[in-house]
């Protein structure tokens, strides 16, 4: 048995979310269908995160086990032939059998994209939230910096969120100007449901001078969801990268066995 | 009668091109349909350029005449309500009655976008040409600079191109790294059919070391289309901006009349 780690990019527009859904197409279903076609057997995949309907990803990470080792190119070039145009495997590796995409990761980088323009933009419509009025980026940057550190993010989670602990550490919260696009980049070790989208919605209200930048410190203190801003729409959010500690893939014997087996069959390796 | 100038953005993916087509949807048809809904009468619009099937625009310019002046917000916010999500009016102005979007413009800026990544990218698939191998950007930049100036671009036009003169002046041809995206920006006073796409196809061959950067000077000399590179695919091309000389909209009495009339009815102006 070998454990495979894949990095996946997708345009979430057409999907009801990452996870298998009873009533809508999911990215996970597309991946498992492609794996079935590639390997001839049903494979259940496990993901580092579960993005909501409409959210995009440039670096979703998943893992799964296979009985028979295939060359790594089969998981990348091979699967991309079976996947629809809005989903692709970017990278494939064999990992130790105790690697887990969700439990082993050390953090995530999310990007929330705004499009600041007087009218909606057809070319950026799928991947950004349109804000028609001018945003004060300086005041947004000042407010964004208040999120950096270890805080109770109760005010920044969906009422449906069932996480046991609401204390999370964010290492980077920054606002980048790439006119007409504006990126809110957030990196941290853990996230609550809708956390980045509520942060983005609150920062936009601050950028429009509807709310003081000091309100971030108050919200982190009082923890009241109702006092924070609206949840920014899903289609502006993108899961950029999932971090694993250096050397995460250099333990266990299965890995090396897997690699050696692969190297024999795979001229590209 | 008043003449209106509109700036239009569109995602060309779903269209058979800008121009009205017998056998496929066109952006022009969507614009004329929205104008019919807005004004109640059939309006024929004239464009500065005619983009091919699949080509995008962030700054297409059109003009048309209307009997009854409406507030400018009707042409922007109003039309955007009738237009599909992949087409939008970005700006509207009243211009002099001798303004012509095609004959008055002093130049255009096109951007060709490449996505350099080992595998196809779902998020950039609609708006970039995927190049899986690594491009040598330095050699591409050296070659791009050879296009700047006034030359006979016969080697860089489609065999269907019927332009009378093939001598065109390019003021800027530059290669910009925005990894994983690479932009080939081209500005000039005039363009031949498929000119930017053949330039992009040739520059990519140079970036892959399949062709010498010196071949650009030879092609501009010998004018043989067959010796140039392939025509890069349409979906990587975007018409960014159409330039008009400063003061283009400051002549003629109709303009000021139109403006004054609008200002009375339009509280936003």
pLDDT in tens, A44-68: 999 999 999 999 999 999 999 998 8
Confidence of residue A262 (pLDDT cuts 50, 70, 90): very low
* Predicted local confidence at residue A250, as pLDDT: 57
* Predicted local confidence at residue A249, as pLDDT: 65
Query: What are the residue ranges spanned by the domains of chain B?
Result: 2-103, 107-240
Q: Worst-scoring range by mean pLDDT, A171-175, A179-183, A254-258?
A: A254-258
Q: How many Cβ atoms sit within 10 Å of the Cβ of residue A67?
A: 9
| Contact flag A125-B56 (C-beta cutoff 8 Å) | no
On the CB side of A225, CA atoms within 13 Å amount to 15
Chosen for mutation from A122, A125, A238, A269 (greatest number of chain B CBs closer than 10 Å) is: A122
Chosen for mutation from A27, A123, A125 (greatest number of chain B CBs closer than 10 Å) is: A123
* Predicted local confidence at residue A22, as pLDDT: 83
Angstroms from B90 CA to nearest CA on chain A: 6
Q: What's the whole-number average pLDDT of chain B? A: 90
Residue for token pair 């259940």: A44
pLDDT in tens, B106-134: 999 999 999 999 999 999 999 999 999 99
Q: What's the whole-number average pLDDT of chain A? A: 90
Residues of B with CB under 8 A from a CB of A: 9-11, 56, 58, 76-77, 80, 85-91, 117-123, 125, 127, 238
Residues of A with CB under 8 A from a CB of B: 9-11, 56, 58, 76-77, 80, 85-91, 117-123, 125, 127, 238
* Predicted local confidence at residue A34, as pLDDT: 97
At A231, list the tokens. Answer: 């949840």
* Predicted local confidence at residue A246, as pLDDT: 76
Name which residue leads in pLDDT, B265 or B33. B33
Asked if domains A2-103 and A107-240 share a fold, the reply is: yes
DSSP β-bridge partners for residue A150: A169
Q: Which residues in chain B have Cβ-Cβ distances shorter than 8 Å to A77?
A: 119
Mean pLDDT of A227-232: 97
Angle between helices A195-207 and A137-145 (to 10 degrees): 140
At A77, list the tokens. Answer: 């070039």
DSSP β-bridge partners for residue B239: B57, B110
| pLDDT over 70 at A254, yes or no | no
Q: How many Cβ atoms sit within 10 Å of the Cβ of residue B77?
A: 16
DSSP string, A127-161: TSEEE-SPP-HHHHHHHHHTT-EEEE-GGGS-TT-
| Contact flag A90-B117 (C-beta cutoff 8 Å) | yes
DSSP string, B129-186: EEE-SPP-HHHHHHHHHTT-EEEE-GGGS-TT---S--EEEEEEEEEEEETTEEEEEE
**B2-103 CATH:** 3.30.70.580
Strands (E), B72-124: 87-95, 105-116
Report the distance separating Cα A80 and Cα A3, nearest Å.
Answer: 19
3-class SS at B185? strand
Nearest-5° Cα angle at A117, A57 to A172: 45
Does the annotation mark A98 as catalytic?
no
**Global confidence as pTM:** 0.88
Name which residue leads in pLDDT, A268 or B130. B130
pLDDT in tens, B51-91: 999 999 999 999 999 988 899 999 999 999 999 999 999 99
Q: Which candidate, A158, A196, A151, places its Cα nearest to that of A174?
A: A196
Percentage with pLDDT > 70 across chain A: 92
At B22, list the tokens. Answer: 């017998």
pLDDT in tens, A87-117: 999 999 999 888 999 998 999 999 999 999 9
* Predicted local confidence at residue B250, as pLDDT: 57
CATH 3.30.70.660 fits B107-240, yes or no: yes
* Predicted local confidence at residue A247, as pLDDT: 72
Which chain B residue's Cα is nearest to A119? B90
At B262, list the tokens. Answer: 């609008």
List Cα–Cα distances, B69 to B37, B95, B257, B258, B264, in angstroms: 15, 12, 10, 7, 11
């Amino acid at each position: 048995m070998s454990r495979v780690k894949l990095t996946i990019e997708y345009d979430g527009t057409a999907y009801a979310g990452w996870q298998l859904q009873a009533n809508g197409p999911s990215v996970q279903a597309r991946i498992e269908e492609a794996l079935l076609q590639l390997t001839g057997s049903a494979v259940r995949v496990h993901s580092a995160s579960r993005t909501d309907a409409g959210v995009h990803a440039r670096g979703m990470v998943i893992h799964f086990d296979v009985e028979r080792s295939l060359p790594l190119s089969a998981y990348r070039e091979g699967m991309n032939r079976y996947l629809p145009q809005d989903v692709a495997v970017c990278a494939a590796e064999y990992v130790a059998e105790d690697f887990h995409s969700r439990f082993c990761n050390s953090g995530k980088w999310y990007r929330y994209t705004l499009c600041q323009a007087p009218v909606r933009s057809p070319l950026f419509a799928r991947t950004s939230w349109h804000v028609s009025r001018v945003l004060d980026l300086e005041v947004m940057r000042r407010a964004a910096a208040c999120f950096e550190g270890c805080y109770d993010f109760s005010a920044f989670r969906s009422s449906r969120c069932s996480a046991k602990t609401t204390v999370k550490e964010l290492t980077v919260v920054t606002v980048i100007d790439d006119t007409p696009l504006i990126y809110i980049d957030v990196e941290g070790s853990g996230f609550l449901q809708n956390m980045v989208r509520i942060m983005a919605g609150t920062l936009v209200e601050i950028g429009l001078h509807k709310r003081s930048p000091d309100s971030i410190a108050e919200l982190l203190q009082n923890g009241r969801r109702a006092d924070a801003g609206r949840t920014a729409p899903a289609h502006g959010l993108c899961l950029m990268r999932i971090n694993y500690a250096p050397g995460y893939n250099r333990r266990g014997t299965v890995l090396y066995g897997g690699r050696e087996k692969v190297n024999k069959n795979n001229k590209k390796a």
